[in-house]
Structure formats: C-alpha cells, structure tokens
Structure 1
Amino acid sequence: MTTGTSTAPRRRSAARTYLPLAVAAWFILEIWLLGLVAGAAGGLTVALLIVGGMLLGGVVIKRAGRRAFRKLAAGFQQAQQGAAPAPQQPGGGNALIMAAGLLLILPGLLSDVAGLLLLVPPVRALVARRFTRSLERRMTSAAPGGFGAAFQQARIHQPDGKVVRGEVIRDDRPQPGRGPSGPDPDSGYRPPLAS
C-alpha cells in the first residue's frame, strides 16, 4: 500500500550547495587582502584598520539600536492614542544599518567595504528594494495570494487539525458520587456538558 509520498531524495537548493563555498572563498580572500595590505603598509596599519572598523561598527549598531527603540516607543504611543502608525522610511530602515555595523565589526577589508557601502543611503535603498522584491517573489511563488493564503493552506493541510473543546473524564479513577457499577442515581451526579 502506498502512502503517496515520494521516497526520492530531495534536491539540495543552490544556496545550500554554494553558500559554504562562498563563505570559504570570502574568508580566504579576506586573509589574502590583509596579507597584501600588511606587506605594503605594515602590520600596524592593518591592526589599526581592523580596530577602527570594529569601533565604527559598534557606533553604527548603537545608533541604529537607539533609533529603533525610539521608533518602537513612538509607535506604542501612537497606538495608545489611536493614531495611524507612521509609514516606514524608504531605504531599509534600521535592519540594513545594523547589518552594515555587523559587517564593519567583522575583521577584514572586504566586509568593511561592504559595510561602508551599506551606510550610503542610495546603496541601502537599492539593496532594500531588491531584497523586498526577492522576498515578495518567493512568497507569491510559494503560495499564490500572499502570506495569509500560505498560512491558510498550511492549516488546511494539517492532518486532523480539528479542535473540539470539552472535558476529559477518565473512567479508571473513582470519582465522587460514582459507585463501582456506574453513577449513583441518588447522588445527583450528572456528566459534564461541553462548555
């Protein structure tokens, strides 16, 4: 008897296949560039570049975190007053700024350049637009109709997803008003009804 599920191995996505290779190549390139700069300008210059990048990244993340907290507090105040929430700013907001700070904190010249590029508003806006389009494309290809339709499809295909509210009565424990042969008619015991 077949259950209808395929036993063929699932094909790995391209991201899962090439991401470890890309990370290894990035790591090797970072080490090579640091060695190249150390040979040209000296080890102290490389150390200063790395420490400066880490400090700048910390400052960027701290400022973005404060801005996000202020925005969250303002959103809560507007919600309590019944006002409509403020529209999101274009350009990726604080998430891409924090990503830029993390790239600056990572030791290496390529990550520092990528972090500095993300701090430039037009570049950040371009990255945010591309990321948003990519995310929307994936969501619509996964389930036509948007996120709500995808959630509904997941609920529909959940096996035996019905929930019936009620009370469970165990027959193996003695209960008040019950005799060994069943309910005592004189005790006034009635089985519970569903709430």
Structure 2
Amino acid sequence: MTTGTQTPNPARPRRSRLRTLLPLGVAVWLVLEIWLLTVVAGAANGLVGLLVLLAGLALGSVVVKRAGRRAFKNLAETLQQQQDGVPAEPRPNSEGNGLMMLGGLLLIIPGLLSDAVGLLLLVPPVQKAVSRYAERTLERKLREATRGPLGDAFRQARIHRPDGKVVQGEVIRDETGAVPDDFPQGPRPPLSR
C-alpha cells in the first residue's frame, strides 16, 4: 500500500539548481526582450526600434573586433618575449579582453536588455568587479571539486599529463642489475627516421 508520496530514487542523482533554473531564466529573458522591443517600437515607432537594434549590432561588432585585435597583439608580444628568452611580465591592460568580447556579443544579440548588460560590461570598473567575482567563484569550485570523490582524479590528471599524452605501460625492474646479452651496448639508434 502506498501513501501517495514517493521517495526519490537513490540511484538517480539530483539535478543541480543551475540545470533546473537555466531554461526558465532563458525563457524569461527572451519574453522580456520581446516585450521591451514592442514597448520601444510602440512608444516611438518601428523605425526607431530597428535603428536601436542596428546600432547595437554595429557597436558590438566594433567592440568584438577591437578586443580580438588587442588579445592577438598581446599574444604575439608574449610569444615574441618567450622566443627572446625574456620572462613575460603581466600587462595591466591585457585583462578584460574576454569580458569586452562578451559585452560586444551581448550588444550584437538583438534586444535592449542584452544591449544594456553589454554596455555595462564595457565599463572598466564593472569589468574588474566581474573578473574578480568570476575568479573567486572558479577557485572555490575547483577547491570543492578537489575535496570530493573526484579530487584524486583531478590531482592525478594535473600531475601525470603535462603534455596531454598518456602512454600505458608497466615498468619491470631487474633486481640483479645484470644487463641481458641481447641488449644493445653503446649509443641508441633514433626512434624514428
């Protein structure tokens, strides 16, 4: 006999809060964007709404292009310094390229709310605050991940995969220290030709 309440299946993990609320947030965002566009088009006229969208597209394209050029220039300078043997020094102007690109992409996306958030991300104090918040959140999540059941796997992956290549094998040590007769003496031949 059942009482009407079901207990959750212990084999099935709970959905995270983000996976539950993200689709709802995207739907609310889209409805709000469409509503704001209709309000602006109704208050002024449809041409003004279209011009606002086109201005956001043009400004966003310029911002993304500028941030991309700046990021590529910084990368080229860093690579040049590494080739010259000079240690790369941190650049105060190099941070914020990712947030500038995100702001530009939000300006390109049609909608007034995304344009407002994109413009906010172009303001340097807002960029620094968002950057610090994202860095703290990422560090906290990494600390939580290393404490969990997968912590040892994360540590092993960081320790044993410096170049990304894994070679499976087994090391067999000869306790006597004797060299087999068929082992070549002298310099070794190249591995590939």
Same fold (TM over 0.5): yes
| 3-state SS of 2:110 partner | coil
| Other structure's SS at 2:57 match | helix
Task: Show the counterpart of 2:34.
Answer: 31
Does 2:69 correspond to 1:66?
Answer: yes
Match of 1:142 among 140, 145, 167: 145
Structure 2 segments unaligned to the other structure (5+ residues): 1-8, 160-165, 172-181, 183-190
Is the Cα contact below 8 Å between 1:91 and 1:124 reproduced in 2? Answer: no
Larger Rg: 1
**Could you state the TM-score of these two structures normalised by the residue count of structure 2?**
0.73
Q: Take 2:94 and 2:131, find their aligned partners in 1: how far apart are those partners?
A: 6
Distance 2:91 2:152 in 1: 24
1:164 counterpart residue number: 169
Kindly provide the amino acid, as one letter, of the partner of residue 126 in structure 2.
V
Distance 1:21 1:113 in 2: 21
Aligned identity (percent) is: 54
1:82-141, CA deviations, whole angstroms, 9 ceiling, x for partnerless residues?
Answer: 111121537842100000000000000000000000000001110000000000000011
Q: TM-score scaled by structure 1?
A: 0.72
**Distance of aligned partners of 1:78 and 1:92 in 2 relative to their CA distance in 1, 3 Å threshold:** closer
Residue 4 of structure 2 corresponds to which residue in structure 1? none
> Matched residue of 1:143: which SS?
helix
Q: CA RMSD in A?
A: 3.0
Alignment check: 8 A CA contact 1:90 1:125 kept: no
Residue of structure 2 equivalent to 1:50: 53
Report 1 or 2 for greater relative contact order, CA contacts < 8 Å, sequence distance ≥ 6. Answer: 2
Of the three residues 122, 126, 144, the one matched with 2:125 is: 122
The 3 A distance-change label for structure 1 pair 92 and 12 is farther
- List gaps (5 residues or longer) in structure 1: 1-5, 167-189
Aligned-partner residue type, residue 15 of structure 1: L
